[in-house]
Amino acid sequence: MEKFIRQEGLVAPLDRANVDTDQIIPKQFLKSIKRTGFGPNLFDEWRYLDEGFPGQDSSQRPKNEDFVLNQPRYQGASILLTRRNFGCGSSREHAPWALMDFGFKAIIAPSFADIFYNNCFKNGLLPIVLSEDNVEALFKAVEGKEGFRITIDLEQQQVIPESGEPLAFEIDEFRKHCLLNGLDEIGLTLNEAETIRAYEARRAEREPWIFQ
Amino acid sequence: MAGKTLYDKLWDAHLVTEREDGSALIYIDRQIIHEVTSPQAFEGLRLAGRKPWRTGASVATIDHNVPTTPFKSAAEIVDQTSRIQVQTLQDNTREFGITEFGIGDVRQGIVHVMAPEQGAVLPGMTVVCGDSHTSTNGALACLAHGIGTSEVEHVLATQTLVAKKMNNMRVSVEGDLSPAVTAKDVVLHIIGIIGTAGGNGYAIEFAGSAIRGLSLEGRMTICNMAIEAGARAGMVAVDQTTIDYVEGRPFAPKGEDWDKAVDYWRTLVSDADAEFDAEVNIDAADIRPQVSWGTSPEMVVPVDAMLPDPQAESDEVKRSGMQRAYEYMGLKPGIPVTDIKVDRVFIGSCTNSRIEDLRAAAEVAKGRKKADSVKQVLVVPGSGLVKQQAEKEGLDKVFIEAGFEWREPGCSMCLAMNPDRLEAGEHCASTSNRNFEGRQGNGGRTHLVSPAMAAAAAVAGHFVDIRELDQA
């Protein structure tokens, strides 16, 4: 996994609550057996006027010019600003894969759905929770100035808008550590293989049927 | 000190180690695997040269992609990408020595129908699957929740998950349900109250006399949709219904182990003095048959109501969501739910494709006919065994005589990854769990209902109060 330390970038505002993972990456694209290549189909039903299917050349498809990610001013955005309960619904990790493949490095929202939130960290994508008021203020700032940029400092746990005060955010220590160092979680867990085996031995005595 | 909740007990029993930074490793007893969210996990194992920690902990089947018309081998799946996924699962399970109920196996079916049916899910277990509806299995008093593909790989490689303890919520439904009200109506009513984010960060225990009065299958319907209320895990405490359900199933313990297991399982209830971080109390008498009208499961109303007015919603974010939903659904506030016409009907999914669901739908379909205006009614059993049982009871004939289509098991039109799908603009009465935009097909409009309500809509051509079907 790539390290996440500091990220400076253009912000794209997606002004919707309860954006579900079916919208982030529709089901027909889940048939891939790879982790990459989902970017062109991120928000497929909102981005294009026709129906998408796997394997087509999306650059030739008619675009919905009103959709935020199609607007010239948000080209090259690496930070997504959105509303509450982002990533609800299906557990598909294809959702963070698609966001990252598109070029997003971080997502800012007042809240995230649990499974999606968790999946982001496994891929080096940083979901940041800010208060409804702070998110609202960022929406106003982004809409008010073309090319509005934000810096995210993970070490300091701060969102630093190009104008205004830095905003602090909370993050779990373990997740922060893994992101900052780009750590392989499986490798870390396997360091505790002896502890896992000892646990299994205790369980097998109490609940042998689990291990049959 | 306060007592423990059911979730506390399950968590404590599976805690391998707690780290200084507050994260924990929990042991996973059972992993269920399907074709869509596992290929990248197996590939990860291969690339790192790792082996599964304990192959017996996993059980796999195919469900999301499979056609619901008969087929005998992966080669017969027309859609190339679907065929590759089905074939890839077969190759991966063989390579890594994992049991798969594949093509042609009568046990094949939707992961959350197959696993409890086989007794592969037992009380007191931790159960994960790369599928958010894994919460279904919590009906058996286990800790069951969906995970992402990286975690599928982590569980395969280590039999553990890095986790953080969730908060405890109890949703109690007390009193008697009216006869036409089913588990599906109960859970839709609950989601209507707490909202799609209401359960974020919580494990929900469903309790109260109305929940205890449900069959185990009904409890699965309730726990299935815990995720639609934002909670990764839903669960119901062990009682005699739980024990009776598990007894005799292929993977269930036998003999001395069975007695020992039952003694332990009976402790899997929240202590009387347990404290919950949040409590929701619902009067069973308030629940009427439900129909979702919008594009989020919380946009739900009783069948005898009018569609709600966004202007009456004080929260600006919710109001704009409702307005967008009306636009997508092609509906207007203030019209009666029973005025909504349906183009297709889908009876199936991990929410409602078990034998009791099919019986409920068949009871309505019996002696009636699909309305001419309804293009298609799909009935898709949850597994080969459910299909077999239904056919033994003659339910297939009831459906066929009513003009419904009787299909092979799979996820089907719940998420339209296979050929079963809505056309743009079509309204569907669906027994599934998600009414998101495009979920059942690009531009399709989903209305979530119970199996009986779906069958009634198929017969009437529009939503109808099941209590007044013959007057419709």
Indicate whether A90 and A42 sit together in one domain.
Answer: yes
What CATH code is carried by the domain that includes residue A26? Answer: 3.20.19.10
Cβ(A31)–Cβ(B65) below 8 Å? yes
Indicate whether B284 and B296 sit together in one domain.
Answer: no
- How far is B449 from B421, CA to CA, in rounded Å? 17
Indicate whether A108 and A45 sit together in one domain.
Answer: yes
The whole-number pLDDT of residue B222 equals 98
- How far is B330 from B399, CA to CA, in rounded Å? 30
Binding residues of B for [4Fe-4S] cluster are 350, 411, 414
Indicate whether A157 and A68 sit together in one domain.
Answer: yes
Pairing of strands B300-302, B99-101: unpaired
Q: How does DSSP classify residue B288?
A: -
What average pLDDT does the segment B52-65 reach? 97
- The single residue listed with the structure tokens 């919707």 is A16
CB contact under 8 A, A111 and B197: yes
Instruction: Tell me which chain A residues have a C-beta less than 8 angstroms from the C-beta of B349.
Output: none
Q: Which residues contact B226 (CB under 8 A, 6 or more apart)?
A: B135, B138, B199, B204, B206, B232, B233, B234
Q: Which residues contact A50 (CB under 8 A, 6 or more apart)?
A: A61, A62
Nearest to A151 by CA among A11, A9, A14: A9
Q: How does DSSP classify residue B166?
A: P
Instruction: Tell me which chain A residues have a C-beta less than 8 angstroms from the C-beta of B12.
Output: none
10 Å CB burial of residue A54 (0-12, 13-18, 19+) is middle
The answer for B201, left when phi > 0, alpha when psi is -120 to 50, beta otherwise, is: left
For residues A82 and B470, which has the higher predicted lDDT (pLDDT)?
A82
CA-derived radius of gyration, chain A:
20
CB contact under 8 A, B81 and A32: yes
Shortest CA gap B1–chain A (Å)? 26
- Does B267 lie at the interface with A, CB-CB under 8 angstroms? no
Indicate whether B68 and B212 sit together in one domain.
Answer: yes
Nearest to A66 by CA among A43, A48, A86, A44: A48
The whole-number pLDDT of residue A164 equals 84
Indicate whether B268 and B388 sit together in one domain.
Answer: no
Nearest residue on chain A to B145, alpha-carbon basis: A115
Indicate whether B418 and B438 sit together in one domain.
Answer: yes
- How far is A88 from B191, CA to CA, in rounded Å? 14
pLDDT of residue B120 exceeding 70? yes
CB contact under 8 A, A186 and B153: yes
Q: Where is the domain boundary, B288, B315, B350? A: B288
Question: Mean pLDDT across chain B, nearest whole number?
Answer: 97
% pLDDT > 90, chain B: 96
What average pLDDT does the segment A70-89 reach? 97
Tokens (6 digits) for A111 = 């809240």
Indicate whether A10 and A102 sit together in one domain.
Answer: yes
Q: Is residue A177 part of a domain?
A: no
Cβ(B371)–Cβ(B461) below 8 Å? yes
Q: Is residue B420 part of a domain?
A: yes
The answer for A42, left when phi > 0, alpha when psi is -120 to 50, beta otherwise, is: beta
What average pLDDT does the segment A162-166 reach? 91
What average pLDDT does the segment B350-370 reach? 98
Residues 128-187 (B) with a CB less than 8 A from some CB of A: 130-132, 145-151, 153-154, 157-160, 162, 164, 166
The whole-number pLDDT of residue B472 equals 52
Cβ(B341)–Cβ(B458) below 8 Å? no
Nearest residue on chain B to A34, alpha-carbon basis: B40
pLDDT in tens, B213-242: 999 999 999 999 999 999 999 999 999 999
Pairs from B397-403 (Cβ < 8 Å, separation ≥ 24): B398/B362, B398/B365, B398/B366, B399/B361, B399/B362, B399/B365, B402/B365, B402/B366, B402/B368, B402/B369, B402/B370, B402/B377, B402/B458, B402/B459, B403/B369, B403/B370, B403/B377
What average pLDDT does the segment A42-60 reach? 95
pLDDT in tens, B143-190: 999 999 999 999 999 999 999 999 999 999 999 999 999 999 999 999
Longest pairwise C-alpha distance within chain A: 65
The whole-number pLDDT of residue B471 equals 60
- Does B472 lie at the interface with A, CB-CB under 8 angstroms? no
Indicate whether B220 and B96 sit together in one domain.
Answer: yes
Shortest CA gap A199–chain B (Å)? 6
Cβ(B126)–Cβ(B143) below 8 Å? yes
Residues forming a β-bridge with B234: B204
- How far is B351 from B227, CA to CA, in rounded Å? 12
Shortest CA gap B367–chain A (Å)? 37
Of residues A83, A118, A173, nearest to B22 (C-beta): A173
Instruction: Tell me which chain A residues have a C-beta less than 8 angstroms from the C-beta of B159.
Output: 196, 200
* 3 state SS for B339-380: HCECCEEEECCCCCCCHHHHHHHHHHHCCCCCCCCCCEEEEC
- Does B440 lie at the interface with A, CB-CB under 8 angstroms? no
Q: Confidence class of residue A202 from pLDDT cuts 50, 70 and 90?
A: very high
Tokens (6 digits) for B213 = 């009065």
Indicate whether A162 and A211 sit together in one domain.
Answer: no
CB contact under 8 A, B415 and A27: yes
- Among A29, A179, A189, the strongest candidate for a mutation testing the B interface, having the largest count of B CBs within 10 A, is A189
Q: Where is the domain boundary, B258, B288, B318? A: B288
What average pLDDT does the segment A34-50 reach? 96
Q: Is residue A76 part of a domain?
A: yes
Of residues B150, B162, B252, nearest to A123 (C-beta): B150
Q: How does DSSP classify residue B299?
A: -
Nearest residue on chain A to B25, alpha-carbon basis: A189
pLDDT of residue B1 exceeding 90? no
Q: Is residue B472 part of a domain?
A: no
Instruction: Tell me which chain A residues have a C-beta less than 8 angstroms from the C-beta of B415.
Output: 22, 27, 90
Pairs from A132-140 (Cβ < 8 Å, separation ≥ 24): A132/A84, A134/A167, A135/A81, A135/A83, A135/A108, A135/A109, A135/A110, A137/A164, A138/A11, A138/A13, A138/A81, A138/A108, A139/A13, A139/A15, A139/A81
What CATH code is carried by the domain that includes residue B333? Answer: 3.30.499.10
Indicate whether B279 and B309 sit together in one domain.
Answer: no
Report residue A108 CA to chain centroid gap: 9
The whole-number pLDDT of residue B137 equals 98
Report residue A152 CA to chain centroid gap: 14
Of residues B64, B200, B416, nearest to A114 (C-beta): B200
Indicate whether A13 and A106 sit together in one domain.
Answer: yes
Of residues A20, A83, A199, nearest to B436 (C-beta): A20
Residues 341-370 (B) with a CB less than 8 A from some CB of A: none
**Tally of domains within chain B:** 2
CB contact under 8 A, B130 and A114: no
- Does B99 lie at the interface with A, CB-CB under 8 angstroms? no
- How far is B137 from B248, CA to CA, in rounded Å? 18
What is the rounded (10 degree) CA torsion for B281, B287, B292, B298? -10
CB contact under 8 A, A174 and B151: no
Residues 190-209 (B) with a CB less than 8 A from some CB of A: 196-197, 200-201
What average pLDDT does the segment B377-399 reach? 98
Indicate whether A131 and A186 sit together in one domain.
Answer: no
Q: Is residue B122 part of a domain?
A: yes
Q: Is residue A150 part of a domain?
A: yes
Indicate whether B142 and B240 sit together in one domain.
Answer: yes
The whole-number pLDDT of residue B299 equals 98
Shortest CA gap A64–chain B (Å)? 15
CA B227, B34, B389 angle in degrees (round to 5)?
A: 85
Residues forming a β-bridge with B280: B171
- Does B79 lie at the interface with A, CB-CB under 8 angstroms? yes
pLDDT in tens, A104-125: 999 999 999 999 999 999 999 9
Cβ(B155)–Cβ(B126) below 8 Å? no
Of residues A88, A189, A207, nearest to B25 (C-beta): A189
CB atoms within 10 A of CB B357: 31
- How far is B377 from B395, CA to CA, in rounded Å? 14
Instruction: Tell me which chain A residues have a C-beta less than 8 angstroms from the C-beta of B232.
Output: 114-115
pLDDT in tens, B270-287: 999 999 999 999 999 999
Of residues B43, B201, B296, nearest to A18 (C-beta): B296
Domain that holds residue B143: 1-288
**Tally of domains within chain A:** 2
Q: Is residue B42 part of a domain?
A: yes
Indicate whether B15 and B138 sit together in one domain.
Answer: yes
Indicate whether B300 and B253 sit together in one domain.
Answer: no
Indicate whether B55 and B122 sit together in one domain.
Answer: yes
pLDDT in tens, B287-321: 999 999 999 999 999 999 999 999 999 999 999 99
Q: Which residues contact A143 (CB under 8 A, 6 or more apart)?
A: A13
- Among A114, A173, A181, A184, the strongest candidate for a mutation testing the B interface, having the largest count of B CBs within 10 A, is A114
Domain that holds residue A203: 182-212
- How far is B16 from B209, CA to CA, in rounded Å? 35
Q: Is residue B67 part of a domain?
A: yes
Indicate whether A69 and A135 sit together in one domain.
Answer: yes
Indicate whether B32 and B180 sit together in one domain.
Answer: yes
- How far is B90 from B12, CA to CA, in rounded Å? 35
Q: How far is CA B452 from CA A87, B349, B359, B365, in A?
A: 31, 14, 9, 9
Indicate whether B61 and B3 sit together in one domain.
Answer: yes
Half-sphere exposure of B438 (CA within 13 A, CB side): 19
Cβ(A101)–Cβ(A42) below 8 Å? yes
What average pLDDT does the segment B393-398 reach? 98
CB atoms within 10 A of CB A43: 21
- The single residue listed with the structure tokens 């399982």 is B265
Q: Is residue A1 part of a domain?
A: no
Question: Mean pLDDT across chain A, nearest whole number?
Answer: 96
CB contact under 8 A, B130 and A93: yes
Q: Where is the domain boundary, B270, B288, B306? A: B288
The whole-number pLDDT of residue B22 equals 79
Q: Is residue B296 part of a domain?
A: yes
CB contact under 8 A, B40 and A210: no
Q: Is residue B14 part of a domain?
A: yes
CB atoms within 10 A of CB B99: 17
